[in-house]
Structure 1
Amino acid sequence: MTPAQTEEVVARALSQIPDAKAQAALDAGMVPHELGHLWFTHAFWPERPETEANAPRHYGGPGPDWLDEAAAVVLEDEPTAAQRRDQFRALMRGEMVPAIGPIDGRSILLDLPGLLSREHPGLVRAAAIGPEVAAKGGVGVSFTPAGAGPRPDALERIFYIQTRAFADYLILKSGRAAILADIAQAVAKGDSVEAWLSNKGADYSLPVSIIDLQHDWEQFAMLL
């Protein structure tokens, strides 16, 4: 990214933070979110190197991108969680959400197998700054612009919204607040989510296959 492009991104970010109160509100959601990514990786992959030859690419740690993101969004403050839920409902009604822009969000939100298998939509952008962060040290924070921007930006925001709602679904259906940790423990040992459902889904009052999970998810999503 050129200096001019960097200045443009920073200017756009700052333009969406008009005062100290808005900055504090943003921090209340963003800081625990980013810590969630770090804690998730250290809890379930403490000994694994951050990069391995021929390993699948991931947005955060070694875990599936949706699970890594779920571990982050469930730590956000309540106003941020409420906003994501409101946006989920609006997209399900076919409305345009200003922070996302014109896109058929409903079909994406209903595609649960897609969420469980796809790369984080921001992976390409994050990977581009990875070498620079690694060379300089520290932690890199990537800003996702709001508004009717490019489709990748819209898909990133929908990814967060869908992950928040799916985390709610798992917690409500199972009655277990720590269900994401239970899934992560199995995945860290080499199980797929499909295998975990087959072995443990019934114990958590969940369907035991991805197909049945999709059907149950559709019913849940339409009633939100």
Structure 2
Amino acid sequence: MRHRTTLLLAALLPFTSATAADAGDCPATLQLHELSCVATAQGWFHAANPATARQIAEDAALAASSFETYFGRPAPRGAVIAGEQGRAIPDDIGQALAAVGAAWQIPWLDAADRRAVQRSALERQLRASMPGADEAQLQARIDATLPSASAPPDTATDRSALRHEIGHMLLIRAFWDAPATDASRSAGHYGGPGPDWLDELAAVLMESQAMTGDRRAKLHSPEAAAHMQPLATFFDMAHPMVARMSELASRGPGAHVISGAEAQRLTGDAGWFYVQARGVADFLLDTSDDPAVFGRIAAFLADGGDMAGWLAAHGAQTGLPASITELDAVWTQWLAARAPSPEAAQAR
């Protein structure tokens, strides 16, 4: 996902015992911590209140529609559980969801939970760094650091981020089976078993217009050229966050809140990987004759092929070159045609 000032990552941690949720059309066997649930054609969506559950269901529907447009396959049904402080979905609930058809499952921090996690993490940090501070001084420092509790949360970014994460899961479950997905975790992949560039491309295709606009603006900014990888490199490289995930995992289970300079250090140059994924998506849509070209690529890669093989076998049929070298030349021209003029660059 795009870099934000605060990076939130949830590691595996079982839920505590829970009571039955107000499930509505959701499976009555699920035991969740007083969460509301909405069931739709896209799956089952749990949150602290009905309005949030409906909002999550709407975002899942938007992601599913985009996925079917760009990948040409039905979006697998899934489940989102927002709450429980971002902890992973426990095995028994995951199995119950899978039994009713949830091919993918995402634990999620909603806005209220995110604020609670941020406050708790900051309080721990300050208590360690300010020994002897009185309680009023401590709370005042927290209040001065975090957004006001009464300020409206950035729900637009949160909703786009959720659609991004759903995009990852839709790609994985539509083109790879569960054993392949599990094996990918030990093979150095950031997400699913497919190459990291395709995994991230699927996710950015699900994002909101506002987030897409931000990525495009960065792609066509003067500094972008220094960060774009040749396509031969991009199609084969690991996601820049792979190495950083192990550092976060070493901090133990739970939701980690990393802000400011530490977030900048951990994410490093990873933001450009997302930007190039969006750029390659736009490039292939602009230059191919197939609006669902990504589904054809994903199917070929899921069968064990690579991008070079797909171009050799199918590039000409979709209006693309037959080799990565030729494709990279067209990509370079495509980028140059969209670069800002010298006058525009000086005006920035």
SS in 2 for 1:149: helix
**Pair 1:171–1:38, CA change in 2 (3 A):** same
Match for residue 296 of structure 2 among 182, 194, 211: 182
Number of paired residues? Answer: 201
Match for residue 149 of structure 1 among 244, 250, 264: 264
When you count strand as a share of all residues, which structure comes out higher? 2
Match for residue 116 of structure 1 among 232, 235, 240: 235
Instruction: Write the distance in 1 (CA, Å) between the matches of 2:318 and 2:238.
Output: 26
Structure 1 letter corresponding to 2:162: V
Q: Does 1:83 align with 2:183?
A: no
The aligned runs of 1:1-224 (5 Å cut-off) are 7=121, 19-20=151-152, 23-52=154-183, 56-90=187-221, 93-94=222-223, 105-129=224-248, 149-150=264-265, 153-224=267-338
Instruction: Write the distance in 2 (CA, Å) between the matches of 1:209 and 1:25.
Output: 39
Verify the 8 A CA contact 1:121 1:156 in the aligned structure 2: yes
Instruction: Write the distance in 2 (CA, Å) between the matches of 1:38 and 1:141.
Output: 22
Report deviation, 1:207. 0.9
Percent identity, please: 29
Partner of 1:101: none
**Pair 1:62–1:132, CA change in 2 (3 A):** farther
Verify the 8 A CA contact 1:110 1:221 in the aligned structure 2: no
**Pair 1:220–1:42, CA change in 2 (3 A):** same
Report deviation, 1:70. 0.3
Report deviation, 1:131. 8.2
Report deviation, 1:178. 1.6
Structure 1 letter corresponding to 2:218: Q
Q: Please, which runs of 5 or more residues in structure 2 have no aligned partner?
A: 1-8, 10-119, 126-141, 339-348
When you count helix as a share of all residues, which structure comes out higher? 1
SS in 1 for 2:217: helix
Verify the 8 A CA contact 1:197 1:207 in the aligned structure 2: yes
**Pair 1:125–1:110, CA change in 2 (3 A):** closer
Structure 2 letter corresponding to 1:169: F
Report deviation, 1:108. 2.7
**Pair 1:127–1:43, CA change in 2 (3 A):** farther
Q: Deviations over 1:154-202 (max 9, x none)?
A: 4210000000010011111113222111101000001111000000001
**Pair 1:200–1:53, CA change in 2 (3 A):** closer
Which of the two has higher C-alpha Rg? Answer: 2
Scaled by the length of structure 2, the TM-score of the pair is 0.50
C-alpha RMSD of matched pairs (Å): 3.6
Structure 2 letter corresponding to 1:119: A
Verify the 8 A CA contact 1:110 1:218 in the aligned structure 2: no
Q: Please, which runs of 5 or more residues in structure 1 have no aligned partner?
A: 95-104
